Chains A and B, each alone.
Chain A
C-alpha cells in the first residue's frame, strides 16, 4: 500500500467526529472486511482512511427497554439477540468475519457487486434510529431515511426499542461465502404494529409499507410487497427470481411472526 491513503486513528469518539469532518474523500475503516480488500484490489484511492478501532465506538447498552449499539460493535456480539437480529446475523458470512465486521459497516455497505448489508432490513423492521455525523452536523433518523441518504456520513450508533416479536425469512445460501440474495425481516412492536424490511430488493435495505398495510392477510401482503421494491439482477439471483420469491418470504416472515411469542 505504498500509495495508500493518509490513515487517521482517533482515540475517542469526539476525535473521530472531528477528524471525519464532512467526510470528503474519506474511507471509514470499521471492521475492514469490505474496505481492506477494496483498497487493495479495486481502483478506489481515497485520500484519507479513518480507522475507528481505538475510537471507543463499540458496545451495547440498554436503558428502559431501548438498546443502543455502537457502530464498531462486531456482528458476533449481536448473535444472541432476539430475532430478526439473531437469525439475520447467523446468515452473514462466517464465524471469523462476524467477529470482525461491524454493525456500522453493515449499515454503510453498498450493493456494488453483491447484496451486502444484511442487517439493514432488520434495522428498518425494528424501527431503529441511526445517529450519524457529517456535513451539516449530527443527525438521528430512522434507518430507512439514513440508508436513502448516507453518502459521507459517519455512523456513531444505532438504537431501537426491544420488539414484542421478530422473524426473519431468507433465501438460504449455498455456502457461507455467498451473500443472501433476498431476505425479509418482520417485527411486531411493543404497541402491536407490524413493520417489514427487505434486503436484496433494492439499492439498500428497504421498508415494505404496502406489505405492512396488508399484513393481516399474509399472502396479500406478499403480493403487495412488490410495489415497495426495486428488484435487480446480480450474479446471485435475477430480478425475475427475486420477484417470484419476495412474496413467499414476506408470507413466511409474517407466518413466523404470528407463531413467535
Chain B
C-alpha cells in the first residue's frame, strides 16, 4: 500500500506492506538510520522514535498504524551540523559509549523533557526504563538528562574536546 507519513518535518510517501514495522520503512526505504534494529522484539529500546510527540518502538509499529503521523528521529533533533541541548549534555557527560542505544535514549529523553520532566533521577529512570545500555552507561545517561532538564549549558570545546572534534569531522 502507498501511504504518507511526515518524517522530521518532511512529508514522505512510502510503499510498504501494511504490517511492515515503521523501523524497516525508516531504515530501508527512507534511509533514516538513527533508529537501530536491536532486538526487534520491543525489548531493547534502540529503535525508539517519536510518533506525534510520544515515544514508540518503531520495530513494533505496523506502518499502516502510523499513516499521517509525524515521526521524529535523532536526525530531526537539531538542524544539520547542530546539536540539541540534550545532545550537548550527552556529550558533556560522556553518556554514550558504543552509541548503539543512544538514539533510542535520546528520543525517549526528548519526549520526557518536552513533557516537562524534572531533573530527578528516579523520574528519569521511570521514563527511560524500557531502554537497555549494555555498556553500563546508565549513571552518565541519568546525569545527562538531568543536566538538560536543569538547562545546564556547556562549552564542549573544552569539556569534551576530543569527542567534539570527532563529531565535527563526521558532520563535515
Which residues of A come within 8 Å of B, CB atoms? 1, 4-5, 7, 9, 29, 31-33, 36-37, 39-41, 49, 51, 53, 93-97, 99-100, 175-177
Contacts and interface: CB of A to CB of B under 8 A. Distances in A.
Interface in B69-98: none
Contact of A51 (B40, B45, B56, B65): B65
Contacts of B59: 36-37
Contact of B61 (A32, A49, A93, A176): A32
Contact of A29 (B17, B62, B129): B62
A96 B62 contact: no
A7 B16 CA distance: 12
Given A37-B40, A37-B41, A51-B62, A99 B54 contact: yes
Interface of B: 17-21, 40-43, 45, 48, 54-57, 59-62, 64-65, 108, 126-127, 129-130, 132
Contacts of A51: 18-19, 62, 64-65
B108 A49 contact: no
A5 B17 CA distance: 10
Given A1-B19, A177-B130, A99 B56 contact: yes
Contacts of A31: 60
9 contacts: A29-B19, A37-B59, A39-B19, A93-B130, A94-B45, A95-B108, A96-B42, A99-B56, A100-B56
Nearest to B132: A177
Contacts of B132: 177
B46 to A, nearest CB: 12
Given A7-B64, A40-B40, A176-B130, A96 B19 contact: no
A41 B61 contact: no
Given A7-B17, A94-B129, A177-B130, A37 B42 contact: yes
A33 B60 contact: yes
B155 to A, nearest CB: 33
B57 A100 contact: yes
A97 B62 contact: no
A175 B126 CA distance: 11
Contact of A36 (B48, B60, B127, B130): B60
Contacts of A99: 54-56
B19 A36 contact: yes
B148 to A, nearest CB: 18
Given A39-B19, A95-B108, 18 more contacts: A29-B62, A32-B19, A32-B62, A36-B19, A37-B42, A49-B19, A53-B65, A94-B130, A95-B55, A95-B127, A95-B129, A96-B55, A96-B57, A96-B130, A97-B42, A97-B60, A99-B54, A99-B55
Contacts of B54: 99
A4 B130 contact: no
B53 to A, nearest CB: 11
A176 B45 CA distance: 11
A208 to B, nearest CB: 30
A51 B19 CA distance: 9
Nearest to A37: B41
Given A96-B57, A96-B108, A32 B127 contact: no
B17 A96 contact: no
A43 to B, nearest CB: 16
B64 A9 contact: yes
Contact of B41 (A5, A9, A41, A96): A41
Given A9-B18, A29-B19, A37-B42, A96 B56 contact: yes
A36 B21 contact: yes
Given A1-B19, A51-B18, A96 B65 contact: no
B108 A53 contact: no
Closest 5 CB pairs of A and B: A94-B130, A176-B129, A53-B65, A7-B18, A177-B43
Contacts of B21: 36, 40
A102 B126 CA distance: 20
Contacts of A7: 17-19, 64
Contacts of A4: 17, 19
